[in-house]
């Protein structure tokens, strides 16, 4: 387990923190493009502990900036979006999307110096229907990330967002923990309910897989494996990709493209973003009789949106209503009694507390990927703080293109890395950019 100091380093993301500095080296998804309308109202955003506003001016350009006016610190959330700028309603000062002050409306011309009073603003780009933000110190931002899912054509990408009320790290770690699936999601699914020699049957026949893990240029990778048919091995491959991306394995590897971001809003709130290919192989949990497993049937439902810092993408099933747990259903139909895969994950992850107490953990062999990922993060954070070593993937986004997740069956004669490379060579590549990784780090 990490020391108390290391735990603090891993979980704190605000300005001036080591992890916050690492996160600021990367482009971050800030909001959906369709959340901002030209000449529309500003949107409150919390990112890495900073209270920001995003807005789209009359020419369609997006701004992302400190919500406070540099004059008297009134919130620009209440500003008027008009004629190529955002005007503070307190004294009429006006700013463009770069943060430049255009007018000091209450100051006589001979005293006005608008060029000396900018708002702190960040670089933005739009891609995949998302507004990406660069919050780092570089004058020229690094390239946008090149995870396979972030390169899909807009017409072929599916995305959804959900607020989670806990630290980013424990949220991410749920995505790189494969052994929980056989319990939290499939705990009452019996092997005989599934067709013989199918992937889901092998997964629930052996709920304690063996693991191989490795550091990779983009982060970390695991290959969880179980016995399949004679002479074959069933694999589930997944990845952590810097700084907060997870590539999960519940789909057929050859036709499954996904990236899941756990964007830290602050130390105790995380915005989850899922990007996936519309042609992904089905991951439905279907029994022999054609029915879905209880607990997997309903999509996420949301509370009405508010304009607060945490008012977007709030799930209707949450801690306030015990995530809708149905104890009768839990007894004989669903392992948890909680409807929805994502909601099941949210319930257990938020139940750990706003920030997990790592000192109380007892990690074991099934947690190899979690331990390896924490170590990888700590090395990168400490190297950046010690001598400015650029974190993985910032300047070499092509390195991400060797990461593909999913499950498959391979001959047991292959090593896990050989099986992974062979499967990539056979895979559909909708972006034409998927690469066979050369070596682990």
> In this structure, are 152 and 45 located in the same domain?
no
Q: List the end-to-end C-alpha distance of the chain, in Å, as a whole number.
A: 23
Position 441 scores a pLDDT of 46
pTM given for the model? 0.95
CATH of the domain at 36: 2.102.10.10
> In this structure, are 152 and 99 located in the same domain?
no
> In this structure, are 226 and 115 located in the same domain?
no
Domain boundary residue, one of 71, 100, 134:
134
> In this structure, are 111 and 38 located in the same domain?
yes
Assigned domain for 14 exists: no
> In this structure, are 69 and 158 located in the same domain?
no
- Quick one: tokens of 141? 């931002």
Residue 138: CB atoms within 10 A of its CB come to 11
Domain total in the chain = 2
Assigned domain for 410 exists: yes
Any idea which residue has 């066979």 for tokens? Answer: 436
> CA 293, 295, 298 angle in degrees (round to 5)?
105
The dihedral formed by the CA atoms of 403, 408, 409 and 414, expressed in degrees to the nearest 10: 0
Assigned domain for 11 exists: no
Position 20 scores a pLDDT of 98
Task: Determine contact, residues 287/178, Cβ cutoff 8 Å.
Answer: no
For 333, list phi and psi in degrees, rounded to 5.
-125, -45
> In this structure, are 164 and 209 located in the same domain?
yes
In which domain, by residue range, is 234 found?
148-426
Assigned domain for 110 exists: yes
Position 260 scores a pLDDT of 98
Instruction: Identify the three-state secondary structure at position 249.
Output: coil
Position 221 scores a pLDDT of 98
Residue 246: CB atoms within 10 A of its CB come to 24
To 10 degrees, what angle do helices 168-175 and 4-11 make?
A: 90
> In this structure, are 111 and 161 located in the same domain?
no
How far is the C-alpha of 22 from the C-alpha of 441, rounded, in Å? 20
How far is the C-alpha of 12 from the C-alpha of 184, rounded, in Å? 28
The closest of 191, 211, 217 to 202, measured between CA atoms, is 191
Task: Determine contact, residues 200/249, Cβ cutoff 8 Å.
Answer: no
Position 129 scores a pLDDT of 93
Position 292 scores a pLDDT of 76
Assigned domain for 175 exists: yes
How far is the C-alpha of 436 from the C-alpha of 136, rounded, in Å? 31
Q: In the beta sheet, which residues pair with residue 124?
A: 133
Assigned domain for 7 exists: no
Position 8 scores a pLDDT of 97
Domain boundary residue, one of 70, 104, 134:
134
Position 1 scores a pLDDT of 64
Position 273 scores a pLDDT of 98
> In this structure, are 92 and 180 located in the same domain?
no
> In this structure, are 182 and 118 located in the same domain?
no
Positions of the chain with pLDDT under 70 = 1, 197, 283-284, 294, 297, 438-441
Assigned domain for 299 exists: yes
> In this structure, are 309 and 407 located in the same domain?
yes
Position 232 scores a pLDDT of 95
Regarding beta strands 406-411 and 232-241, do their DSSP bridges make them parallel or antiparallel, or are they unpaired? antiparallel
Non-local CB neighbours of 249 within 8 Å, separated by 6+ positions: 178, 224, 236, 237, 238, 405, 406, 407
Assigned domain for 432 exists: no
> In this structure, are 87 and 172 located in the same domain?
no
The closest of 210, 35, 60 to 130, measured between CA atoms, is 35
Domain boundary residue, one of 102, 134, 166:
134
Instruction: Identify the three-state secondary structure at position 377.
Output: helix
Q: How far is CA 401 from CA 35, 248, 397, 428, in A?
A: 29, 15, 8, 13
> In this structure, are 155 and 54 located in the same domain?
no
Position 395 scores a pLDDT of 97
Position 206 scores a pLDDT of 87
């Amino acid at each position: 387990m990490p020391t108390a100091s290391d735990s603090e380093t891993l979980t704190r993301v605000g300005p001036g923190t080591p992890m916050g500095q690492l996160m600021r080296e990367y482009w971050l998804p800030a909001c959906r493009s369709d959340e901002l309308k030209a000449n529309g109202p500003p949107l409150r955003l919390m990112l890495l502990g900073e209270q920001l506003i995003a807005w789209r001016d009359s020419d369609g350009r997006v701004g992302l900036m400190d919500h406070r006016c540099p004059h008297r610190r009134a919130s620009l959330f209440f500003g008027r979006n008009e004629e190529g700028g955002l005007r503070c309603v307190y004294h009429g000062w006006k700013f463009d999307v770069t943060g430049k002050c255009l007018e000091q409306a209450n100051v006589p011309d001979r005293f006005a110096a608008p060029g000396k009073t900018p708002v702190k603003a960040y670089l933005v780009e739009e891609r995949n229907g998302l507004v990406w933000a660069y919050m780092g110190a570089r004058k020229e931002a690094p390239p946008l990330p090149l995870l396979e899912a972030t390169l899909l054509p807009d017409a072929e990408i599916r995305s959804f967002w959900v607020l989670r009320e806990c630290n980013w790290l424990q949220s991410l770690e749920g995505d790189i923990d494969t052994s929980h699936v056989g319990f939290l999601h499939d705990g009452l699914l019996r092997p005989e309910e599934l067709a013989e020699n199918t992937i889901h049957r092998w997964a629930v026949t052996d709920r304690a897989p063996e693991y191989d893990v490795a550091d990779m240029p983009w982060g970390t990778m695991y290959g969880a494996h179980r016995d399949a048919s004679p002479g074959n091995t069933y694999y589930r491959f997944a990845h952590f990709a810097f700084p907060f991306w997870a590539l999960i394995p519940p789909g057929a590897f050859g036709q499954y493209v996904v990236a899941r971001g756990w964007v830290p809003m602050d130390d105790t709130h995380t915005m989850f973003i899922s990007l996936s290919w519309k042609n992904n192989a089905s991951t439905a949990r279907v029994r022999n009789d054609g029915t879905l497993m209880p607990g997997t049937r309903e999509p996420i439902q949301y509370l009405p949106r508010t304009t607060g810092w945490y008012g977007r993408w709030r799930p209707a099933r949450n801690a306030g209503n015990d995530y809708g747990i149905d104890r009768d259903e839990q007894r004989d139909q669903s392992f948890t009694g909680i409807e929805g895969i994502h909601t099941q994950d949210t319930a257990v992850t938020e139940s750990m507390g706003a920030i997990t107490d790592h000192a109380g953990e007892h990690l074991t062999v099934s947690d190899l990927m979690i331990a390896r990922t924490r170590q990888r993060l700590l090395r990168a954070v400490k190297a950046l703080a010690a001598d400015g070593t650029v974190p993985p993937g910032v300047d070499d986004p092509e390195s991400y293109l060797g990461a593909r997740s999913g499950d498959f069956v391979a001959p047991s004669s292959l090593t896990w890395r050989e099986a992974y490379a062979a499967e990539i060579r056979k895979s559909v590549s909708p972006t034409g950019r998927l690469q066979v990784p050369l070596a682990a780090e």
